[in-house]
Amino acid sequence: TMASNGSMDFRAFMLALSKCADKPELPIEPCIEQGSKHFAQRKEQAELEAGAVLKALIKAGEPAAAEDGEGKKSGLTPEDGDLVKFHYTIRRARGGDEGEGGDDGEVVATSRGGDPTVFVLGKACRMPRGLELGIQSMARGERSSFTIKPSYGFKHPTCAWRLADARSEEALLDFDIELVDFSAGVGVQIVSESSLEEMVVKETVEDGSGWENPRPPYKVVADVRARQSESGPTFFETAEATPLRFSCGDEGVVPETLEACVNLMFKGEVARIYSRKPLGDSRLIPAAPLSPQASPSSLPAIQIYEVTLRDVIQVRDVIGTGEVMKMRVKNGNGEFPIDCPVVDCHCTIHCVGRLKESGHVFWDTHRNENETGAGA
């Protein structure tokens, strides 16, 4: 602060300084997240180099990925986020000295004799970390064996998969894996991940068009085929002439989880939905019949729902009170909302007013064409 004669007002300066000194000092918190992540990666790399996961090729798969014109590989091995389907046989490793109980070579879990299991690499309810890393080195159709230490097997902190015999999780294990197929993560969405037994995954088979997803109170028209498993019988299927029609948000019309999957789709999209837990009964789609009891050494069978979203019918609460509801009867040209008229646009419209209960028409501009200005 300057006095009138141009000199500094020392008292005012000290007062301002004391006020600043009274303010609590902000704590300095170290940023350790990036360093911690880097340390974990270095630790994992060191443990892998020390033999935490060992691979032996049994049968080669598809040829190695070729480079495209930009020098990028076409990607013939799965990556984090990809949906993978594989057969597995898990045995106690011969000569293993980790864990107690059980015989060397004893099979503790297998999918062979049934359908391949399904996981999303590095996401949601995960498989053993060592198996994730091993599968990322495999080509489609390849069969390999992985010897994995418990710390990278079922005892890894990210693993949600549990064995029927918990003692086997402490042992050195051999994983005989055949990679049946995989899909790029860009078309994979995890719908439910509360537990491995209840995990639901949606895979886009064919992309749809537009940008708008169904949501309450929209109406949808869809084809649905539901199977008990990959190779199991079909227990529900719509006919070409009678697709499924329902309003989003209507409780009990279709299974809630199936509706959640449909609400992630776009018009024209074809999707495949995987669920280990039966989706339950509903008015339009019955519950799946009881499947044969799965072996205690295998994961539950995965139900598959194949859905084609034929149409998304927009239904809107115009003023937010439920008193004025608008439903699109016929699609126009352009996209909502950018191609819709706004205040002061000049519009030519036809309007038919009809009593809901009796159907009596009290207003029909088709007989006398009417022009009006929107917002007037």
Domain boundaries, the chain: 48-62+74-183, 186-289+298-315
Strands 173-183 vs 143-148: parallel, antiparallel or unpaired: antiparallel
Strands 83-92 vs 173-183: parallel, antiparallel or unpaired: antiparallel
Confidence of residue 156 (pLDDT cuts 50, 70, 90): very high
Average pLDDT for 61-89: 74
Please state, for a pLDDT cut of 90, what percent of the chain lies above it.
55
CB atoms within 10 A of CB 225: 15
Confidence of residue 69 (pLDDT cuts 50, 70, 90): very low
Average pLDDT for 322-334: 85
pLDDT at 75: 59
**Cβ pair 180, 217 in contact under 8 A:** no
Residue 31 reports pLDDT greater than 90: no
Residue in the block written with tokens 């990925």: 65
Comparing 4 with 126, the larger pLDDT belongs to 126
CATH for 48-62+74-183 is 3.10.50.40
Average pLDDT for 150-175: 94
pLDDT at 175: 97
pLDDT at 215: 93
Whether 186-289+298-315 and 48-62+74-183 are alike in CATH topology: the answer is yes
Rounded Cα distance, 81 and 40, in Å: 20
Confidence of residue 297 (pLDDT cuts 50, 70, 90): low
The fold adopted by the segment(s) 186-289+298-315 is: Chitinase A; domain 3 (3.10.50)
Distances (CA, A) of 6 to 2, 13, 141: 6, 14, 86
